[in-house]
Amino acid sequence: MKTPYDVIIRPVRTEKSYMNVADRKYTFVVARSANKTEIKIALETIFGVKVEKVNTQIYEGKLKRQGRTQGYRPTTKRAIVKLTADSKTIEFFEGMA
């Protein structure tokens, strides 16, 4: 059984993700095997918020080269989570926006 901390890996800290904070949307890197229900339960458990909607995206790893050697970056899965209107905000994102 997965714990909530196995599902949510880290928050995404990019300019594009901070623009969505005003709309109560937060972006996280999640485990590739996690489904939307597991992501929702994990966020509600960790941060104590109410999740309205979860959208997921899979980012394929890019090809990177260093001289003759080449390899791929890891493929990751991201979750864009929208909170309900009566839910509290996630403090981690509020300090940086």
pLDDT in tens, 11-56: 998 899 888 888 999 999 999 999 999 999 999 999 999 999 999 9
Alpha helices in the chain, H assignment, sequence order: 4-7, 15-19, 36-47, 91-94
pLDDT in tens, 64-88: 999 999 999 999 999 999 999 998 8
Q: Can you give the pLDDT at residue 22?
A: 87
Buried b (16+ CB within 10 A) or exposed e, 69-96: eeeeeeebbbbbbebeeebeebeebeee
Domains in the chain: boundaries: 4-85
Phi, psi of 5 (to 5 degrees): -75, -15
CATH 3.40.640.10 fits 4-85, yes or no: no
Q: Can you give the pLDDT at residue 52?
A: 96
